[in-house]
Structure 1
């Protein structure tokens, strides 16, 4: 019963451990000039769903488009991509 209660909350810690959430790749456009992104609107082309990631950390303040490997709210990694790659992923 306690495990079900813990997994009903979605945050980076619980989603990382939750066996019912699978890793996926989503794409997003982020603001330039920062390396911390909050409330990122991401798109997954396989499921054709939009989702909101509460917090994503980056490393390139000049980048604007990212590919995000994540498991729910848990962000495993990000990769900066070109605008062309971003547009192709959204098609």
Structure 2
């Protein structure tokens, strides 16, 4: 099983999209600074996760999410989460 995932920086306007076989482990790696690309943007929260049978399928979804439309979709998820928190 492979997962396409997106994480959002809690302190900066930054979204990272990737593929993994273990989302929890990968999020911990990002938050602990093991990934050079995301290190300056820590900490992160998981905002999107979708599972696939093959890495190729997950890669197709990753490419979609990295497109302009995909980034717009992810930003809308963040906005909806913020609205949910303000209602509580």
Query: If the length of structure 2 is used for normalisation, what is the TM-score?
Result: 0.30
Q: Which has the higher helix share?
A: 2
Q: Which has the larger radius of gyration?
A: 1
Query: If the length of structure 1 is used for normalisation, what is the TM-score?
Result: 0.29
Q: Which has the higher strand share?
A: 1
